[in-house]
Amino acid sequence: MRKINTALIEQNIYEMALHAGVNLTPSCRAALEKAKNAESSETAGFALETLIKNSEIAVAEKMPVCQDTGLAVVILEIGQEVFLEGKGLKKAVNDGVRRAYKDGYFRKSVCDPITRVNTTDNTPAVIHTEIVDGDKIYVTFMPKGFGSENMSRLYMLKPAQGVEGIIASIVETVKIAGSRPCPPVYVGVGIGGSFDTCAYLAKKALTRDIGSANPREDIAEIEREALTRINGLKIGCQGFHGNTTALGVSCEVAPTHIAGLPVAVNIQCHCVRCEKVTI
């Protein structure tokens, strides 16, 4: 048994949130550079170059890389040999978010869904917890903007629709979204489980490095084929009809019921921000 004080979790969330608000992930930056170098459209190429320059200015000036500093999404994979002590886990996470958004001068974007009254500190965060083996805590922080979140979709497919139905659903989601989620997008896909499970898997897929492949070859092939078809839409960077509509597609899978095939498609804009630490 290993004791971990939740104050350590709070401090890590604070530091991760501050860094994520300003910095694109390395894989996102590399994917944007690759897209720019491969772009044949002058207008889309200029747009890609502008996105890259914006990310550089954000780092140099220590300013948010996007005005939408996101809804804080936190994934905690907690080893079963860990004993948490100190303040409550949710309070520790939210205190870390609250401090970071205040000190980073990040926009506070969280409100009541009915009254629309702002909570004023970007809390509460969306917190997912999983129990895993070992005595460590794996922390993932992702600020999720809603221009892209609003373009996400969930499908309850018939099993007979199979792989083609999955790919068609992914491509349809991006096609319907058009330029609204600030492409080039990163597409997270959850396949299987239940109505709620596949949505979480889609979110978790977005925490993977862009360009990484699912270890299952059949799933990796879905990722590749979906990406090819999406880029064939020619929506392009910011809707300027370029070669790259999506930087990547990542799929996560869980067993499901014999009568169903749930598929969730979570859209992330070009501004991919995600931090991971191990405690």
Tokens 């004791």 — which residue? 3
Structurally, how many domains does the chain consist of? 2
**In this structure, is residue 48 part of a structural domain?**
no
Question: Are both 183 and 252 inside the same structural domain?
Answer: yes
The answer for residues whose C-beta is within 8 angstroms of residue 231's C-beta and 6 or more apart is 243, 244, 245, 246
Tokens 């879905």 — which residue? 222
Q: Which of 124, 144, 164 is the last residue of a domain?
A: 144
Q: Which of 113, 144, 175 is the last residue of a domain?
A: 144
Question: pTM for the full model?
Answer: 0.95
**In this structure, is residue 74 part of a structural domain?**
yes
| Domain housing 171 | 147-273
- Per-position pLDDT tens, the chain of length 279: 999 999 999 999 999 999 999 999 999 999 999 999 999 999 999 999 999 999 999 999 999 999 999 999 999 999 999 999 999 999 999 999 999 999 999 999 999 999 999 999 999 999 999 999 999 999 999 999 999 999 999 999 999 999 999 999 999 999 999 999 999 999 999 999 999 999 999 999 999 999 999 999 999 999 999 999 999 999 999 999 999 999 999 999 999 999 999 999 999 999 999 999 999
Question: Are both 168 and 229 inside the same structural domain?
Answer: yes
Question: Are both 131 and 78 inside the same structural domain?
Answer: yes
Q: Which of 144, 164, 192 is the last residue of a domain?
A: 144
Which stretches of the chain are assigned E, i.e. beta strand?
Answer: 2-5, 71-79, 82-85, 126-132, 137-144, 153-157, 185-192, 246-254, 261-268, 275-278
Question: Are both 258 and 167 inside the same structural domain?
Answer: yes
Cα(178)–Cα(265) distance, integer angstroms: 14
User: Which CATH number goes with the domain that contains 135?
Assistant: 3.30.360
**In this structure, is residue 51 part of a structural domain?**
no
